[in-house]
Amino acid sequence: MSYARSTPAGSTEDVAQIGFDVANVTNSAWDSSWTFGDHQTVHNALFAFDAAWKSMRTSTCSLTSIKAYPRAFADPMTLEKRFATGGPPTWNSAQAVVGTNATNPLPYQVAMSVTLKNAFPRHWGRVYIPGLTEDATTSNGRWDQADMQTMEGAAAVLLQTLWDADFPIVTASTQYDNQLVGQLLGVTSIQVDDIPDVIRRRRPRQVAIREITSLA
């Protein structure tokens, strides 16, 4: 899921992205084939997930696309290469869903984290939600609990919807007990903390205004 953010005139920035690992299950077995209908089912769930929290997203941040990429463990797996080389997207759906919150946006790199927990703490997954606003914070600089609950509920519905449709969201693990081994771990719970995260790779890359004072 890609999100575009407004920038000062004359500047351009990378999009913010959030992604999930989604497995395909057919007759209780992993299924590496993906049909148009499979992609559409997952797309619809992701679109509904975005709709559930767009009231928290600034009107200067928009969902611009939903894409799917094939992913597989490398065979053989090495320390340097744990996943097979990926290819072009197998699903690419353009979107134009604008956030509806009119309050001032927080800096690009501030995000709310949603932790996807399984039975192995060192192999939990996490996604970072972009485009939130001052309205989502308290006077202590933490996330407002009501907004946390909105995000938690949106993520829970997403996971349950896909689970019921035999497309579970998983976390991909490549190591266990100091051995290289590929595993798909099912998500058992969701956690949202009130501490904002700082995602350095989302920091603006271009300076719009620069003030310099020369000292004698």
Q: Which residue has the higher pLDDT, 56 or 204?
A: 56
In the numeric block, the tokens 């953010």 are attached to: 5
How many alpha carbons lie under 13 Å from residue 127 in its C-beta half-sphere? 19
pLDDT > 90? residue 11: no
In single-letter form, the type of residue at position 96 comes to A
pLDDT band at 10 (very low <50, low <70, confident <90, very high): confident
pLDDT band at 174 (very low <50, low <70, confident <90, very high): very high
pLDDT in tens, 140-171: 999 999 999 999 999 999 999 999 999 999 99
pLDDT band at 208 (very low <50, low <70, confident <90, very high): confident
Return the pLDDT at 158.
98
Long-range residue pairs from 123-126, CB within 8 A, at least 24 positions apart, any chain: 123/171, 123/173, 123/183, 123/185, 124/171, 125/21, 125/171, 125/187
pLDDT in tens, 56-96: 999 999 999 999 999 999 999 999 999 999 889 999 999 99
pLDDT in tens, 101-144: 999 999 999 999 999 999 998 899 999 999 999 999 999 999 99
Q: Against a cut of 0.85, is the pTM above it?
A: yes
Long-range residue pairs from 37-44, CB within 8 A, at least 24 positions apart, any chain: 38/167, 39/68, 39/90, 39/91, 41/162, 41/165, 41/167, 42/68, 42/162, 42/167, 43/68, 43/91, 43/93
Return the pLDDT at 205.
85
Return the pLDDT at 9.
85
Q: For the residues 170-180, what does the mean pLDDT come to?
A: 91
Share of the chain above pLDDT 90, in %: 87
Return the pLDDT at 13.
79
Rounded to a whole number of angstroms, the distance between the first and last alpha carbons of the chain is 50
Q: For the residues 11-24, what does the mean pLDDT come to?
A: 91
